[in-house]
Chains A and B, each alone.
Chain A
Amino acid sequence: MTAAPQRVACVEIGGVPIALSTSDEGFLDLLRQRYDGFLSSSRPEFELEFVLTDTDPVSDDDVRVLRSGEEWLIERGDFHARWDPRTGQGRVRQNANPYSLDSVLRILHSLILAERGGFLLHAASAICEGRAYLFSGVSGAGKTTMTRLAPADITLLTDEISYLRPSGDGYSAFGTPFAGELARSGENRSAPVSALFFLEKGAENRVDELTSAEAVRRLMRNILFFAEDHGLVEKLLATACDFVNRVPIRRLTFYPDARVWDLVRDFDRHLDRNFDRNFARNSEEVPEHA
């Protein structure tokens, strides 16, 4: 008897193509349906082989992510995975359910991103006029509400998990298939990040400044990171401080109706005006012979 051949789907999230292989046709179909819009023909940077088991389909256990020699060991009640960052290859044993699959992929991306100066953020994100806006907060703060209120010209990147990578002088946000209450995959697009808002519901719409320390504190609270690893924690903290230095971060108190998006657009235009004013002043200061 010969083993069933491995079938592969390449899933590219955040510009990181990962080959997901399985010998189970049904699981391959599930993969393709779940990550439709993120399937890619790019050459994979990493590979995960899925071996299906009959473990419990869901688990309330805490996830554990720790180094085991050169490999990462990633486990929860419903899955057990090993991944070697040197070879880029790993193996996952899990039940054929999509929630375990999402969890494993999110954790793998969080490890890859941490090494590359990026991170996954518990936040909705959307592109408006070519720029990405992030809306973060605890459950119930209004992430999904913001996406539901979005005007028709907004491109939804995610209502739950935002994907952020350094890019140029700032950061770019990428769409993800990781959906929250909206139960809808984000668009596979990216844009430079214009601002991050920490959401609070209130009686009126307003934007308030946050101190750098408060911004880092809130950011760290909402970054998805699971690894028990001192080196990666140091990198993550450095990344969070860098992000706060480069991206405007504000508290957005909002009354849940569509007018909040006017405030978001105005915030960006206000930044543009400041930029233009500063640019004009700096230009005037440049001597003619320079």
Chain B
Amino acid sequence: MPENCIYIARSSAIAARALAGEMMVMNSADSTFFTLNEVATAIFQAADGRTPLREIVRDKICGQFEVDPDEARADAEQFVAELSGHGLLIVSNQPLAAETSR
């Protein structure tokens, strides 16, 4: 899937809480638990299903953190693939509802 078509939304099957600058995410389907760092948290919070991933990276990552844009995009794609694999994010080439069931 080409990067410029990627939309991401948080799964409706997760519970998430921010604590001391980090995001705790739990998948209620299998009780797996994840802690997201600051950059991952920025992507996760911006996953509204409507904003393309490339805009999220540009505005929330490159705009906030000192990072090379190409590197940021590659890291973001890898992060999104990982969280999608764990059922925490839904990925589509079409806009999605903000929180989406698998």
Contacts and interface: CB of A to CB of B under 8 A. Distances in A.
Interface of A: 211-213, 216-217, 220-221, 225, 228-230, 232-234, 236-238, 240-241, 244
Given A230-B12, A230-B13, A237-B15, A211 B29 contact: no
Given A230-B12, A230-B13, A216 B28 contact: no
B52 to A, nearest CB: 28
Given A228-B29, A240-B24, 8 more contacts: A216-B19, A217-B24, A217-B35, A220-B24, A220-B33, A230-B13, A233-B28, A233-B31
B24 A228 contact: no
Interface of B: 12-13, 15-17, 19-20, 22, 24, 26, 28-29, 31, 33, 35
27 contacts: A211-B20, A212-B19, A212-B22, A213-B19, A213-B24, A213-B35, A216-B19, A216-B24, A216-B35, A220-B24, A220-B26, A225-B31, A228-B28, A228-B29, A229-B28, A230-B13, A233-B15, A233-B26, A233-B28, A234-B15, A234-B28, A237-B15, A237-B17, A237-B24, A238-B17, A241-B19, A244-B19
Nearest to A220: B33
Contacts of B16: 237
A217 B33 contact: yes
Main secondary structure of the interface of B (DSSP, over half): strand
Contact of A213 (B12, B15, B20, B26): B20
A192 B54 CA distance: 50
Contact of B20 (A212, A221, A232, A238): A212
A119 to B, nearest CB: 13
A123 B97 CA distance: 41
Contacts of B19: 212-213, 216, 241, 244
Given A211-B20, A213-B24, A234-B28, A221 B15 contact: no
Nearest to B34: A217
B26 A237 contact: yes
Among all A-B residue pairs, the 4 with the closest Cβ atoms: A233-B28, A234-B15, A212-B20, A213-B22
A213 to B, nearest CB: 4
A232 B17 CA distance: 14
A125 B20 CA distance: 27
A246 to B, nearest CB: 13
Most chain B beta carbons < 10 A, residue from A212, A230, A238: A230
B29 to A, nearest CB: 7
Contact of B33 (A212, A221, A229, A244): A221
A36 B59 CA distance: 63
